[in-house]
Amino acid sequence: MTQLASGYALEVVNLTKAFGGLTVTQNISLAMRPGERRLIIGPNGAGKTTLFNQISGDMRPNSGEIRLFGTDVTQFTPYRRAHFGLSRTYQIITLFTGDTLEHNVTLGLLGLRPSRWQMWRPLSHYGDLATEARRTLDTVGLLHLAQHPVSEIAYGEKRRVELAMALAQKPRVLLLDEPLAGLSDTERAQVKSLIASIPRETTVIMIEHDMDTALDLAETVTLLNYGRVIVDGERNAVIADERTREVYLGT
Amino acid sequence: MKWIAAAPLAALLLLLPFFAGDFYINLASQILIAAVFALSLNLLVGYGGMTSLGHASYLGVAAYISAQLTSRYGFGHGPAAIISICGTTVMAAFFGIIALRATGLGFLMITLALSQVLWGLAYRMSGVTNGDNGIAGLTRPMPFGISLESPASFYWFALIVAVFAFVMMAIFVSSAFGSSLRGVRDQPRRMAALGFNPWMIRWITFIYAGFWGGVSGLLYVYYNKYIHPTSLSTTSSAEALLGVIAGGSGTLGGPAVGAALVLLLKNYASAYIERWNMLLGLVFLFIVLVMPTGIVPGVSKLMTALRRGSQ
């Protein structure tokens, strides 16, 4: 096992992805220590979500490498990466709308267990799964809605279910794609404290536009523009950097 | 409540041969066979989101294998049944690998193409299948020495198999695996990100549906004592699909209700109207317009509305 040989939780090396003539990520390299909190910023179309999609395996890069705890996972399917400790949330809410919140979170738990192949025992007999799903829903403050279908709950609550599904998996690396998008101020504060309470065993990498909230959560920041890494480093250094002001914070 | 409502239905099914004539008993047997077939297709269409237009392949191939083995090679019904079910299941595994390279329309076209190949073979390979003449003079099995020649005894036999099939498929869809399957139908990308293997889940379901398709094929050939290439035709696949959608895909009772509807129309209406297909089309159109999700979900929604209204 070459695990942790490099000492990094997540490494991205010279990642390049092009759609026809349009290069969306160009030679992106990142390295994250275990437990690190990183914020990815950049204007629309900077390649942030495309970077996430490559890390999670939804898209294959044209060249470059992705390593999780020292293991090259570039050729791994998304579900293999999930079993390797990678979870993600989606910018566009991707939930099972007809099912209850409890069922949604249960699927998150089931995905990593061998019992997902069980064809005889009804899912409702897995009391431990239900209990754990409800516990996770409790941590995101949605226990009272556990038996409601996702289609009946409010947008801000759906965002928290997104988070709950990923958190239930107790990931080693967690990708959060705009977890605060479209939330009210109160909801923002709730989700912020939720993200802040994620245990340190989990390495968190987050795309977010709401700088006021997100910067508090981040230790390191990476600025992308036109598919390239412009600035990368400690939070305060990146904020102070002239290029950051130019590309993003400007006026 | 549900069980109390099911009791009269169970009694009706069980006691039907005591008060119905042979014509109706036979019709009921045919409905049971069509219901097993539609239920197996529903695993793909309703629970897996894989709309297949070639499901008759499994019915037809199981029927042909059994017919061949018993009539030409002198096999007993027991071994012939086992071999034909195993053969059909292996074929489903192979077809699944081909068809699951695509989803949606592509999947539908591949299943259609594969079933057309079999249909063509059944017509052309007359040395094996007897071509357009079909294979006649087949016998029914005698489980535990009980003759299934009378309409009533065959009906009970079909009822036992159909109930067993229904229960097995109900267990399948409510299991953890069944939840994985519905998840893959609704959000395949998310399911993969959560650690599920969407392809494998679809493939296993495809094989399982092929297995029960094969079981319905055995019942079919036992009932008819005859097999003809039309059992492999697209019409045969499409009728079952129509039944699934009309009855309510993705529900347990829907496909059975839909299959019954198609068969009743076929048997009754064809006595009065030559173009019974036209009537079936109109009925189908009516269902789609009034209850887009099918009869069973539509009626249960109506019942809830009535109950609420009366309170």
Q: Which residues of B touch A176 (CB under 8 A)?
A: none
pLDDT tens per residue across span B253-311 = 999 999 999 998 888 877 787 777 788 888 888 888 888 888 888 888 888 888 887 76
pLDDT tens per residue across span B61-75 = 999 999 999 998 989
pLDDT of the residue at A5: 54
Check pLDDT > 70 for residue A82. Answer: yes
Name which of A80-89, A161-170, B108-117, B264-273 the model is least confident about: B264-273
Q: Strand runs (DSSP E) across chain A, as ranges?
A: 10-19, 22-32, 37-41, 63-68, 71-72, 86-88, 173-177, 203-207, 220-225, 228-234
Query: What percentage of residues in chain A have a pLDDT greater than 70?
Result: 96
Domains and CATH numbers, chain A: 1-85+171-251 (3.40.50.300), 96-170 (no CATH)
Check pLDDT > 90 for residue B128. Answer: no
Confidence of residue B108 (pLDDT cuts 50, 70, 90): very high
pLDDT of the residue at A159: 93
Size of interface A-B (CB pairs under 8 A): 94
Distance CA A169, CA A175 (A): 12
pLDDT of the residue at A6: 66
Name which of A149-158, B35-44, B124-133 the model is least confident about: B124-133
The nearest CA of chain A is from the CA of B153 a distance in Å of 31
Query: Residue A81: which H helix or E strand, with range?
Result: helix A78-83
| DSSP annotation string for chain B | -HHHHHHHHHHHHHHHHHHS-HHHHHHHHHHHHHHHHHHHHHIIIIIT----S-THHHHHHHHHHHHHHHHTS---HHHHHHHHHHHHHHHHHHHHHHHTTS-HHHHHHHHHHHHHHHHHHHHH-HHHH-GGG-B-------GGG----SHHHHHHHHHHHHHHHHHHHHHHHHBHHHHHHHHHHH-HHHHHHTT--HHHHHHHHHHHHHHHHHHHHHHHHHHHS-B-GGGGSHHHHHHHHHHHHHH-TTSSSHHHHHHHHHHHIIIIIHHH-S-HHHHHHHHHHHHHHH-TT-HHHHHHHHHHHHHHHH-
Query: What percentage of residues in chain A have a pLDDT greater than 90?
Result: 70
Contact B183/A95, CB-based, under 8 Å?
no
Contact A107/B191, CB-based, under 8 Å?
yes
**Residue B270 or residue A50, greater confidence:** A50
Contact B195/A96, CB-based, under 8 Å?
no
pLDDT tens per residue across span B185-203 = 999 999 999 999 999 999 9
Distance CA A244, CA A223 (A): 7
Name which of A220-224, B4-8, B108-112 the model is least confident about: B4-8
Check pLDDT > 80 for residue A155. Answer: yes
* Tokens coding B196: 């599920």
Chain B residue set in contact with A, beta carbons under 8 Å: 171-172, 174-180, 182-183, 186-187, 189-198
Query: What percentage of residues in chain B have a pLDDT greater than 90?
Result: 64
**pTM for the complete prediction?**
0.92
Q: Which of A146, A242, A197 is nearest to A37 (CA)?
A: A197
Query: What percentage of residues in chain B have a pLDDT greater than 70?
Result: 99
Nearest chain A residue to B184, by CA:
A96
pLDDT of the residue at A1: 40
pLDDT of the residue at A3: 46
The nearest CA of chain B is from the CA of A234 a distance in Å of 30
Check pLDDT > 60 for residue B252. Answer: yes
Check pLDDT > 90 for residue A240. Answer: no
Task: Round the average pLDDT of chain B to a whole number and report it.
Answer: 91
Q: What are phi and psi of A229, to 5 degrees?
A: -80, 120
Cβ neighbours around A128 below 10 Å, total: 10
C-alpha dihedral over B13, B17, B22, B27, to 10 degrees?
Answer: 10
pLDDT tens per residue across span A56-74 = 999 999 999 999 999 999 9
Contact A115/B190, CB-based, under 8 Å?
no
Q: Which residues of B touch A97 (CB under 8 A)?
A: 186
pLDDT of the residue at B256: 93
Q: Which residues of A touch B198 (CB under 8 A)?
A: 79
Amino acid at B269: A
Q: Which residues of A touch B189 (CB under 8 A)?
A: 58, 78, 94
Check pLDDT > 80 for residue B15. Answer: yes
Distance CA A124, CA B1 (A): 20
Q: Which of 196-225 (A) contact B at CB < 8 A?
A: none
Contact B176/A126, CB-based, under 8 Å?
yes
Q: Which residues of B touch A88 (CB under 8 A)?
A: 193
pLDDT of the residue at A66: 95
Of residues A96, A106, A122, nearest to B175 (C-beta): A122
Query: Cβ contacts of residue A138 below 8 Å, gap of 6+?
Result: none
pLDDT tens per residue across span B22-47 = 899 999 999 999 999 999 999 999 99
Q: Which residues of B touch A91 (CB under 8 A)?
A: none
